[in-house]
Amino acid sequence: MEDKVINVIDFTAAYGDNIIIENINFDVYNGEKFVILGGSGCGKSTLLKHMIGLYRPAKGSILIEGEDIAKAEGKERIEILKNIGVSYQSGALFGSMTVLENVTLPIEQYTDLSKESIDLIARMKLNLVGLTGSEEKMPSELSGGMIKRAALARAMALDPDMLFLDEPSAGLDPITSAELDQLIIQLSKSLGVTFVIVTHELNSIYNIADRVIMLDKDTKGIIASGEPEYLRDNSEIPIVQKFFKRQTDEQLGG
């Protein structure tokens, strides 16, 4: 983890006059499984949406491999976005398209490959996430876990160096959630992809995370960072202790 691939510098996020996150700084390293966590309303998903270029910061910079995604325009912006894969909490699959069509869509949009090549690549991505045989199914025919896997396959369609996942385990039963955690670990090892993951699921955090940052709604900043086990065992900040040692997810979920 010697190379920094994401640099968040003096970053502030706001909706109008309402500041959500104020003046935070952190880096993400190449090949890292980096988790953003915190309680409801602390700005986890807001931060992620800024990191993938959906929103522009009120202040500061977000550098993706040295390029500021907030300031990039035109072809420069497209090149940055092609190197980012995103899987949203709901999966966000197109309901009128088959699983295979959902995965081929970004390849069709951003490459000049032949139909045969596009089809082959999409099937390979679905195989990577364990969905071989489900290519012609519609999203309505999939279980929650399968939807998450299909969304992950689509996020990997253009072979991005970075994958951003928003609450990947949300709505899944514990067994399916654990299986998805193992898939993420497997993909990290085999592909060397950098993962940035928003979650509040403790089991997933301990299973997946190399390093975490914890956001806080009241201070609008980062109140803890490091390996989750270290924070659990050594942090003296009450809210951090409450998060890592709670028995259920209800109080700080979402």
Q: Where are the domains of the chain?
A: 33-53+84-245
Q: For residues 28 and 3, what is the distance between their CA atoms, to the nearest angstrom?
A: 9
Tens digit of pLDDT for each residue in 104-148? Answer: 999 998 889 999 999 999 999 999 899 999 899 999 998 888 999
pLDDT tens for 47-98 read: 999 999 999 999 999 999 999 998 998 989 988 988 999 998 766 788 889 9
The CATH number for 33-53+84-245, chosen from 3.40.50.300, 3.40.640.10, 3.90.1150.10, 3.90.79.10, is 3.40.50.300
Q: How many CA atoms lie within 13 A of 84 on its CB side?
A: 25
pLDDT of 91: 64
CA distance 208 to 151: 18
pLDDT of 253 strictly over 70? no
Q: Rounded mean pLDDT of 181-205?
A: 91
Q: Which tens digits make up the pLDDT trace of 194-216?
A: 999 998 888 889 999 999 999 99
Q: Which residue has the higher pLDDT, 246 or 34?
A: 34
| φ and ψ at residue 55, rounded to 5 degrees | -120, 155
**pLDDT reported for residue 95:** 82
What is the value of pTM for the model shown?
A: 0.89
Residue 2: the pLDDT is 61
DSSP state of 27: E
With b meaning 16 or more CB within 10 Å and e meaning fewer, what string describes 132-159?
eebbeeebeebebbbbbbbbbbbbbbbe
